[in-house]
Structure 1
């Protein structure tokens, strides 16, 4: 079919307009506020860092980023909410590494239904938090050797921010490696656990550095070891557990940004790029250090590997030790 010159011109204009509209659509994200879900109550490390990132990301994107706390069931309620959300980039999840194991430590049927490996889209690992062994210097000990010696002659306990947490897992792994049986005292969050260690009611804790560091100056609490392969830049004078003779006891924590399954690659790239720049900001890094966190970054595969790795490794440990959440 032959077209007149006028018809051909009209078609060309129409196609050009459609192409421009397509480009504008591709560049439109975000065109409205973004909701950043935190699956835990306000006031914790994840919540505080979510609000820090939200402020920076909102400025860069030109749209508000609103933090929404949806706590409950060891974080599975908020995670399930994001897993079921539309994959349009407007509902995101900032999660601690407990996201990998939460369903594994809940009693059968207690966890929300979602696939933590294939049901979320990894975007960026925002930070890593080394875990430390800390103790009340009077009731626990001034070094790990003293703690272990006491634990072999009398009953000692350790505090964690919750049953089934990475800190709980670390405590049980340490017990096995050291040949002791520190009894686990789970708390509902970091603050009450640290308060009881500070008061001497529970002599030892396995914890991120941020909550205990403010008490080092008084001498009442001390960091005795870090559960990482190498010493932490946040506390370079604290030896690793391996240096002290406790091999294979390496447990770390991290935080990451996820979206729903099948989040478009261009949105993942956009958010990942912005976060990598945010994590380079000196004020962001200094605030993260207050919470005992080091900046993460890198591409989305780094977070995917951390998530899958923890699920596989800790899944076996959780089963072997019979670890369950409250």
Structure 2
């Protein structure tokens, strides 16, 4: 065989080998090379949606690719969660979620229309963006100024109900946990989200609720509402004058919230690293920190394992509480 022909055949063989490895090399080197869809399993306008849009804006600028928030609400978040769990693990369909992902499958009855995913094993953790404290907030017209006074009013029959953003939410779990610890029977009034609950709370139609700080901050500032307790191990840096429920005598009443970024199971490690690095930088940006503070989110960040542990621990702990109290989503 003439030498030029041999060389040509060798070159073709080399090109064939490169073609075989080409897709893998391209994926590892080029991510992201197209639009990323960031799924939020709740309607537009809430804390999770607002945070997702903030991070999407920053990720798009960093990656020079569109990052589009896609709202897929319904069934306590399980519709959007299931959509991401079944998506291709290529980094182009992601989930931005509160810790209700750890709870939703526990409070929805199994069946043909029930959750079609495992909250712990069917997702790849990327980063815990931040944590949110849950506060006990009262209408100041009740005259209640402390957790002690609230318990006394409940035992005297003066306070009979509390609002939550929905059955099976972390706020509902907190309410039932507090009831047991304080020896009271305060009935939950579930709403379809925080916004309508807050309207009724400010209007005096319900005496108090369990909530994150962001949606009620303006009403606390105006004096219509007052935060009298926080369900964390230590006081919130956002409201350091509000005592913990442990300080009020209920050390075991600890229920919090968090927001995190996840992908489908099997997300490649190079994609996880790229997203984790970007998000760790974003949550430290001088223009992002105050916007997170407005939504009462304390930055967490760190390695993906931080989110993985938080999700697994919440799932395990809340499964026991949900079973004990017989909590079910509507």
Range of TM-score over shorter length: over 0.9
Q: Distance in 1 between matches of 2:153 and 2:282?
A: 45
Displacement of 1:260: 0.8
Question: Aligned with 2:58: secondary structure?
Answer: helix
Does the CA-based 8 Å contact 1:128-1:296 persist in structure 2? yes
Displacement of 1:68: 0.5
In the alignment, which residue of structure 2 is the partner of 1:51? 53
Displacement of 1:228: 0.3
Q: How does 1:36-185 map to 2 (within 5 A)?
A: 36-109=38-111, 110-139=113-142, 141-154=144-157, 155-185=159-189
Displacement of 1:9: 8.9
Displacement of 1:6: 7.9
Q: Distance in 2 between matches of 1:99 and 1:13?
A: 51
* Aligned partner of 1:305 among 301, 306, 309: 309
Q: Distance in 1 between matches of 2:124 and 2:72?
A: 19
Does the CA-based 8 Å contact 1:164-1:323 persist in structure 2? yes
Does the CA-based 8 Å contact 1:140-1:147 persist in structure 2? no
Does the CA-based 8 Å contact 1:71-1:77 persist in structure 2? yes
In the alignment, which residue of structure 1 is the partner of 2:37? 35
1:220-245 Cα offsets, whole Å, 9 max, x none, are: 21010110011111111111111111
- Please, which moves more after superposition, 290-299 or 77-86? 290-299
Does the CA-based 8 Å contact 2:108-2:115 persist in structure 1? no
Unaligned runs of 5+ in 1: none
* Aligned partner of 1:239 among 234, 238, 243: 243
1:191-242 Cα offsets, whole Å, 9 max, x none, are: 1111111111111111001111111222221010110011111111111111
TM-score by length of 2: 0.93
Q: Distance in 2 between matches of 1:43 and 1:76?
A: 18
Question: Aligned with 1:54: secondary structure?
Answer: helix
In the alignment, which residue of structure 1 is the partner of 2:299? 295
Aligned pair count?
325
Displacement of 1:107: 2.5
Question: Aligned with 1:283: secondary structure?
Answer: coil
Q: Distance in 2 between matches of 1:291 and 1:304?
A: 23
Aligned CA-pair RMSD = 2.1
Question: Aligned with 2:222: secondary structure?
Answer: coil
Unaligned runs of 5+ in 2: none
Distance 1:3 1:258, change over 3 A: farther
